[in-house]
Amino acid sequence: MMRRGAGARGDPMHNAIVRRIVSIPRNLLGGFSRAVSHGIDLMGIGGRRSHYLPQPSFPPQYPPEPSIVQDEWAFLNCFEQQYGGSHPFFYACRFTEALKMAQEEHKFVFLYLHSPEHPFTPLFCRETLCSELVVQFLDTNFVCWAALANGGEGLQMTATLQPASYPFCAVLAPASGDNLAVLQQIEGPVSPAELVEILQRTLDEQGLAFGSGRAREEERTRVDRRLRQEQDAAYLSALQADQERDRLKSLASDRRAQKQAETSSKANTQKHWQNPIPKQASQVKETTSKKEAQPKDPATTTANGAQLTQIQIRFPNGERREQSFKSTDKIQAIYRHIDSLGMPGVANYRLISSFPRRVYGVDQMGMTLREAGLHPKASLFLELM
């Protein structure tokens, strides 16, 4: 009699998110893989893949035992001697390391407990587990781990999961703390098509709850990218508005200067005819009038003659602040001024100018404002990192 997983059609637990929660045996937690300690090649004896775990640069937490190789390869030796090397890729490592690899790859763990003496085991291994359909499906969608049901870590997992019959397969996912979520379990023989159907349905039903790590990361990336694009668009819009306002101010200033020059020229002409003055004095007065009519240099000076640079700083919340610095001050002086403001939420940031876009970060801290091209005035955007 076949006993299928809880996700099979018609089963009352078909819509359950988690079949049950179990605790990882304490003696499986902590320490380094014994396969790592001995540099064992993590591949099936059939040699379809080759994976190596990194060698630790410090001694393992637990000393190796004499029967390490026998414990690590007992299942693969037993399995391949009887059924050959064409089978799913079972990682020859501790169960906790397979669980960690599954987390990193955003996959579930497919666990198989092998009971050689059970009468249904040979048919299941030969016809189902070694079929090309099952091999390709498991290798693509799961991190596979298997062990003998009556020895080593397999015996500990048997005591934890308590299978009612063999062959026994389970789909596992990490839960809170040192617990496991048993998402699906299959007890008894099933055909290749039935096994793939059950596993595919498990991925579809449980993936949103337990396998969405990658989706969450991609969503965060999309949100960050959209936020950055919105900030850049807002900055460019504000910068263009500032440039247009400066252009209009400059145009108005030029018009006022031209009007003042024309008014002064008319007054001088009228005064000349009313009260002629020597030619030399007239030339001096004309020169003075021209100097007054010329637009003033926007860079003012301090008492000791140093030129000032006007820096306008735009914050991410849209607020703008303007501050004067000496042209000989360094970029670091702007950062110190911003830090002294105590703006909420402004901790790790950098300053950026646009048109052309240029970043004033750590490497530019020692540049003076004149060397950085910020004199006599410039607009900088504060970008949070």
Closest C-alpha to 216, from 205, 204, 208 = 208
Tell me how far apart the alpha carbons of residues 349 and 383 are, in angstroms, rounded to a whole number.
Answer: 5
| Predicted pLDDT of residue 14 | 36
Q: Is 129 buried (19+), middle (13-18) or exposed (0-12) by CB count in 10 A?
A: buried
Site of tokens 């320490």: 31
Please tell me the pTM assigned to this model. 0.46
pLDDT per residue as tens digits for the range 213-264: 556 666 777 888 888 888 888 898 899 999 999 999 999 989 899 888 888 8
Phi, psi at residue 240, to the nearest 5°? Answer: -65, -40
Tell me how far apart the alpha carbons of residues 113 and 168 are, in angstroms, rounded to a whole number.
Answer: 6
pLDDT per residue as tens digits for the range 303-321: 677 789 999 999 888 889 9
Which long-range contacts (C-beta less than 8 Å, at least 24 apart) are formed by 287-292?
A: 289/261, 289/264, 289/265, 290/261, 292/260, 292/264
Cite the DSSP H helix spans in 11-115: 34-37, 68-83, 95-104
Ranges 186-190, 305-309, 375-379: which has the least confidence = 305-309
**Domains of the chain, first to last:** 20-211 (3.40.30.10), 231-248+307-385 (3.10.20.90)
On average, the pLDDT of the chain sits at 77
pLDDT of 292 strictly over 60: no
Q: Say which residues have a Cβ less than 8 Å from residue 177's Cβ, sequence separation at least 6.
A: none
Q: Say which residues have a Cβ less than 8 Å from residue 37's Cβ, sequence separation at least 6.
A: 56, 60, 64, 68
Average pLDDT over residues 324-333: 92
pLDDT category at 289 given cuts 50, 70, 90 is low
| Predicted pLDDT of residue 66 | 34
Tell me how far apart the alpha carbons of residues 334 and 338 are, in angstroms, rounded to a whole number.
Answer: 6
Percent of the chain residues topping a pLDDT of 70: 71
| Predicted pLDDT of residue 163 | 93
| Predicted pLDDT of residue 167 | 94
Site of tokens 């247009």: 244
The secondary structure of 228-247 as a DSSP string is HHHHHHHHHHHHHHHHHHHH
Average pLDDT over residues 284-294: 56
Strands in the chain per DSSP E: 20-23, 108-114, 142-148, 168-174, 179-187, 308-314, 320-326, 349-353, 358-360, 377-384
What 3-state DSSP class applies to 108?
strand
pLDDT category at 151 given cuts 50, 70, 90 is confident
pLDDT category at 208 given cuts 50, 70, 90 is low
- Total residues found in the chain within this entry: 385
Average pLDDT over residues 93-121: 91
Closest C-alpha to 381, from 312, 326, 331 = 312
Strand partners, 89: none
